[in-house]
Amino acid sequence: MRHFIPQSLIMAEPQLQREVEPQLLNGDDVNEEREDADTSESLKKKRRKKKKSKATAPAGSNEAEGSGPSGGVGDVTKQLEQQTLEDKEREEDGEEDGDEGENSSGKKKKKKKKKKGLKGQTDPPSVPICELYPNGDFPKGEECEYPPSKDGRSAAWRTTSDEKRALDMANEEMWSDFRQAAEAHRQVRLYVRSWIKPGMTMIDICEKLEDCSRRLIKENGLKAGLAFPTGCSINHCAAHYTPNAGDPTVLRYDDVCKIDFGTHINGRIIDCAFTVTFNPKYDRLLEAVRDATNTGIKFAGIDVRLCDVGETIQEVMESYEVEIDGKTYQVKPIRNLNGHSIGPYRIHSGKTVPIVKGGEATRMEEGEAYAIETFGSTGRGAVHDDMECSHYMKNFNVGHVPIRLPRAKHLLNVINENFGTLAFCRRWLDRLGESKYLMALKNLCDLGIVDPYPPLCDIKGSYTAQYEHTILLRPTCKEVVSRGDDY
């Protein structure tokens, strides 16, 4: 029907549309959004028509005036003007569409950026550290300059020496393994602090901690896993206590609990510990031990004598007094507990770092790793073996020893496959499905193949606290690799 409408009516149609459109927009509330889009499209079309009419008017006059060769020039200029106008229109339309796209789909774009970024940790923690840092660039610990030598010479030259930098880079893979294990330790202990409370059984505390630690370290046989059983020694017990199956011990409000656990990557062990209390009356005791540990870390370094570190630790710790239940105690370092050097798959690799004066004059060396740990006590300041044994470890230097008992042979195979020369506990043997192994385990201990490490206790009624960090004596600087925001 539209083909038979007179020309005058056709010319009037756009005008009618212009008059009708505002009425529809004002009257129709249901299709508001659709009409907004239509009006924006019509405005774009009108703009294009105006620009084209402006362009054709001068071009037409040129055609009318020119003839022959000059008419060809007019055609060329007309085409060029039209092309430039079309390009401008495309740019304007592109800008408008881009603005609309950013407003309407801005949220989607942000989501895409998040997906491309690093994976974040969950709550509770479940993402392995190696997946949080897929490029292998794990967070460094606290990097410190070495203390000056006794003649006053600064060790700052190590940080700028090309030779020391090259040595440092040559061992980067080893440092990276330590850092990965340390980051797992930091995240696990942060998680533990969020839920540990009085009324929990020690078994529940240890198993919950170890399950999280296994996930974050991405346990993989002897390549990655737990370095030793979770120590949760309470009050007068200073070290080497973890509950055996059936242990009913419950954490109480007035307890002083030492949480000591380790992680490792390729045998590079992080040995790090802290003390948990709920009653503020123990705050001064914890402050004394934490200060003593940090002092030991500060004075440790290449060519430093181990006995000198012990002397500074004792001096700091004994400067503290603590009042508990109306009685004042001088904080004493536990003289027969020490820090130690750490080797691959070997938690105690030969050197000991005393926490009292009068120890060995052996010096620390470049490239070594140490656990700097201090224990403070309100008791005698000395520990002895007590209570049921839970910690065991295969003797690192043992050679071939003939074993008669078949069950002992089987147990040794289980130990070699799952723990190697790393420490383990009876709960871990239970977890592997082993049963009725106590006689076989005793036989391996009697033969000297496996060493027992029973709990170490001060006198009953006393309180003991512990803080510990792992440090790396790198060629360029000292790195407190297990340092965190907590301690």
pLDDT tens digit string along 378-420?
Answer: 999 999 999 999 999 999 999 999 999 999 999 999 999 999 9
The band of 188, judged by pLDDT with boundaries at 50, 70 and 90, is very high
Give dist(CA 415, CA 454) in Å, integer.
18
Task: Tell me which amino acid residue 339 is.
Answer: G
For residue 469, is pLDDT > 60? yes
Give dist(CA 265, CA 242) in Å, integer.
23
Q: Output the six-digit token pair for 446.
A: 């009697």
Q: Is the dihedral of CA 342, 346, 351, 353 positive or negative?
A: positive
Strand partners, 144: 478
Q: What's the confidence (pLDDT) of residue 61?
A: 43
Tell me what the pLDDT averaged over the chain comes to: 85
Give dist(CA 269, CA 264) in Å, integer.
4
Burial 394-407 (b: 16+ CB within 10 A, else e): beeeeeeeebeeee
For residue 456, is pLDDT > 70? yes
Q: What's the confidence (pLDDT) of residue 186?
A: 98
Q: What does the pLDDT average to over 295-315? A: 97
Q: What does the pLDDT average to over 365-371? A: 98
Higher pLDDT, 365 or 106: 365
Q: What's the confidence (pLDDT) of residue 38?
A: 52
Number of residues written out for the chain: 487
For residue 366, is pLDDT > 80? yes
Range with the poorest average pLDDT among 74-88, 111-125, 138-152: 74-88
Q: What's the confidence (pLDDT) of residue 216?
A: 98
Q: What's the confidence (pLDDT) of residue 43?
A: 56
Contact between 371 and 323 under an 8 Å Cβ cutoff? The reply is no
For residue 133, is pLDDT > 80? yes
Q: What's the confidence (pLDDT) of residue 416?
A: 97
pTM of the full structure: 0.77
Exposed, middle or buried by CB within 10 Å (0-12, 13-18, 19+), for 445?
A: middle
Q: What's the confidence (pLDDT) of residue 149?
A: 85
Q: What's the confidence (pLDDT) of residue 90?
A: 60
CA-nearest of 393, 355, 348 to 371 is 348
Residue 219 gets which letter from DSSP? -
Higher pLDDT, 430 or 34: 430
Give dist(CA 371, CA 288) in Å, integer.
18
Q: What's the confidence (pLDDT) of residue 359?
A: 86
Active site residues: 260, 271, 340, 348, 373, 468
| Strand, coil or helix: 125 | coil
For residue 31, is pLDDT > 60? no
